[in-house]
Amino acid sequence: MSLAIDLASLLAPDRVSVKAADLDMASHDESSCPATLPDAVAWPLTTDEVSRIVRYAYEREIPVTARGAGSSLEGNPIPVRGGIVLDLSLMNRVVEMHESDLQVTVQPGIVYNQLNEQLKPHGLFFPPSPGGSSDVATIGGMAANNASGIYSVKYGGTRDHVKAATVVTGAGEILHLGTRSRKTSSGYHLLGLLVGSEGTLAIATELTLSLVGVPQAKQQGAFAFPSEKLAVTAIAEMMRYGVDLAAVEFLDRRSLAALNRFQGFGLLEQPSLFVEVHGSAQMVDEVFATATALCEEQDGRLISLPDGRHPWEVRHFTTRAIQALNPQAKTIRTDMGFPISRLPDVVEESYAIAERHDVLLHTFGHAGIGILHALLREDPADTVRWAAANQAKDEVVAFVLSVGGTASGEHGIGLGSRKYVQQEHGEALELMKGIKQVFDPKGILNPGKIW
Ligand SMILES: Cc1cc2nc3c(=O)[nH]c(=O)nc-3n(C[C@H](O)[C@H](O)[C@H](O)COP(=O)(O)OP(=O)(O)OC[C@H]3O[C@@H](n4cnc5c(N)ncnc54)[C@H](O)[C@@H]3O)c2cc1C
């Protein structure tokens, strides 16, 4: 109780809670990782308030876990050691538009889609759209996970767009990292370290993002293929030839079947690519024609989605549709990243491993940037199948690492992928632990994550 009283005196009584419903809300994310209740939830409004709380926690060695929307998929914001959850959702303002510089400064709790709504009148947008969570994910959470999305193949991931940030370290110190210049060679890239650190080094309270202009013209289309291998080979070829796609998403036939069951979309249940091109009207036509020709070389054909549906309207539901297939089950997922030429091998090997373990795997992802998710749904109560699915995941990740890939392309390590970090980073992991110590001397920020 004294924690709540202390926090209320640092903020305001109505922005601190120890109510069961609030603790429960802050105890989980969208992963299958077990929930853990914090001791209190606080909703700061300013950088100073965040600093005050962290200083208080630093003196008493109380864990502090930042939280955006809790839409992570690896247990990233779960407060595994209890303590305070700092819910940043009320810090959701655009602080300043820098229209002529194609930049915006925002508070971390602003939601991705809401930011883009506010950017529309300026003819600008923030591109790393995180597919199915763009309606909830906050910019702070996206930066902390270095999220990416459907448009990352053309415009990059979140790290590529964070130019500057105000952050609060684990000792409660306020730092300003980065500048608004487009390019810098000044000093260590501390800002780059912060992005992707999952709230374990500092808490971001303001972020300056680079934006891009809304394209003059867009063209979208869907291509269906006779096999998964041919579909992903088409992607690898399009990337090899430098076809300037704004988005190219892969969905295997099982993901499409799940979407049909979920929403009755009536989609053709054949491995498919959803594609979007941005540019001038003439350029869009040319690029789309090249993409079509390369897809046709792999026996792909241009199809219309039923009822004139928009590809992203369908794609948005992929994760939820797979989860809905078996609501009692839990998801075991991979978030692999790899060199683009290995995409066909990764897909083939993933199916082969799943078959060997007799488990059902769904694959989809931002395949143009070499990111693929393989989702397995099993009931943990069925210990044999649960173990088989986990073993299949380990083998898929081991294969990806063996071809120069990573265990996390975009979701972060959180809790779910910790066991692969040593293998992926080797001795560099000790250096990471040392860096954590510098930013967070008492280890109070989101403890228990990444390793
Ligand atoms: C259906 C679905 C689809 C998804 N699709 C994608 C996708 O296409 N691409 C993708 O990259 N991800 C995707 N995700 C994962 C998730 O939405 C993203 O990682 C998102 O960026 C998380 O944002 P959040 O606001 O929910 O952050 P949270 O989950 O609340 O937090 C994420 C991490 O950031 C930390 N954190 C939060 N705010 C701050 C801050 N201000 N300062 C420091 N640390 C902070 C937290 O402690 C935690 O470690 C998807 C999730 C779902 C449920």
Q: What's the domain range around 360?
A: 326-417
Tell me: the pLDDT tens digits for 333-380? Answer: 999 999 999 999 999 999 999 999 999 899 999 999 999 999 999 999
Which CATH number is 238's domain given? 3.30.70.3450
Residues 161, 149: contact at Cβ < 8 Å? no
d(CA 159, CA 285): 30
Return the residue whose CA atom lies nearest to atom 16 of ligand 1: 72
Ligand 1 mutation target, pool 64, 133, 198, 450, most atoms within 8 A of CB: 133
Do both 209 and 108 map to the same domain? yes
Neighbours of 39 (CB within 10 A): 18
Q: What atom in ligand 1 is closest to the CA of residue 147?
A: 11
145 in ligand 1 pocket by Cβ < 6 Å?
Answer: yes
Do both 98 and 200 map to the same domain? yes
Closest CA to 134 of 68, 221, 43, 200: 68
Do both 238 and 227 map to the same domain? yes
Tell me 178's DSSP state: E
Q: Is residue 436 part of a domain?
A: no
Which CATH number is 51's domain given? 3.30.43.10
Do both 74 and 102 map to the same domain? no
Residues near 131 by Cβ (< 8 Å), separated by ≥ 6?
149, 150, 249, 315, 316, 318, 319, 366
**Average pLDDT, stretch 264-284?**
96
Give yes or no for residue 264 having a pLDDT over 80.
yes
Number of independent structural domains in the chain: 4
Q: How confident is the model at residue 73 (pLDDT cuts 50, 70, 90)?
A: very high
Q: Is residue 69 part of a domain?
A: yes
Ligand 1 mutation target, pool 145, 315, 362, 375, most atoms within 8 A of CB: 145
Query: pTM of the entire structure?
Result: 0.96
Give yes or no for residue 1 having a pLDDT over 70.
no
Closest CA to 105 of 194, 180, 191, 50: 180
Do both 206 and 220 map to the same domain? no
Do both 117 and 137 map to the same domain? yes
Look at residues 259, 278, 311 and tell me which one is the last residue of a structural domain: 311
Q: How confident is the model at residue 321 (pLDDT cuts 50, 70, 90)?
A: very high
Which CATH number is 209's domain given? 3.30.465.10
Q: Is residue 149 part of a domain?
A: yes
Look at residues 87, 112, 143 and tell me which one is the last residue of a structural domain: 87
Do both 79 and 139 map to the same domain? no
Ligand 1 mutation target, pool 71, 413, 444, most atoms within 8 A of CB: 71
Do both 98 and 184 map to the same domain? yes
Q: Is residue 380 part of a domain?
A: yes
**pLDDT value, residue 132:** 87
**pLDDT value, residue 237:** 96
**Average pLDDT, stretch 225-241?**
96
Tell me: the pLDDT tens digits for 134-154? Answer: 999 999 999 999 999 999 999
Residues 183, 266: contact at Cβ < 8 Å? no
**pLDDT value, residue 423:** 96
**pLDDT value, residue 420:** 97
Q: Is residue 113 part of a domain?
A: yes
Give yes or no for residue 397 having a pLDDT over 80.
yes
198 in ligand 1 pocket by Cβ < 6 Å?
Answer: yes
Tell me: the pLDDT tens digits for 170-210? Answer: 999 999 999 999 999 999 999 999 999 999 999 999 999 99
Do both 77 and 100 map to the same domain? no
